[in-house]
Structure 1
Amino acid sequence: MEELFVAVVVLSTVIGLPWLILHYVTKWKTSAGGITQNDEALLEELYALTKRLDDRMDTVERLVAHDHADFKPARLIADNQADNEELAELEALLAQKRKETRA
């Protein structure tokens, strides 16, 4: 009886444990492979909302600066090329992604 118990323990350790580990590693890799289309749509929607809010903040800062001469905006300068390089790169990537999904 002891021999059967030892055989079961050895087989479950040699076969079962690696199978269990590999099973969950595979699940982990396939689930972390990328974002879904719903996530991409949500990110694009959030990006558009962020751009609109940024434009609104620029407008508010211009209005306040017009009314108060000593006002100095704490944000980055609007429409400054150095500040907008990363956004331009992101917009180009989004445009390319939209092209690929239409084709």
Structure 2
Amino acid sequence: MKTLLGSQSLWDIVEKGFQEPEEDEDQSVAQIAALEKTRVKDKSALYFLYNAVDESGFKKIANAASSKEAWKILEVAHRGNHRVRQIRLQTLR
């Protein structure tokens, strides 16, 4: 997933996150354009995450407001699965 998002120049927005500014009135035209570009990148990354997961994963991230939030939800969900696999492996040994 990191490779897919990186190939689209979207991984940085997922990793660092994006917060909407509280006020749009005091911004220059260039700042507004940069803000819009960042919004588009965030929504594009969120779109890729939606398409990459199955139905149960989609249900977990459907209400995420940003790509970073969705990524964190997926990280926690899969980290738990990894721990469960480690415990099962130890039990088999």
Q: Which has the higher helix share?
A: 1
Larger radius of gyration: 1
User: Which bin holds the TM-score, normalised by the shorter protein?
Assistant: 0.3 to 0.5
| More relative contact order, 1 or 2 (CA 8 Å, 6+ apart) | 2
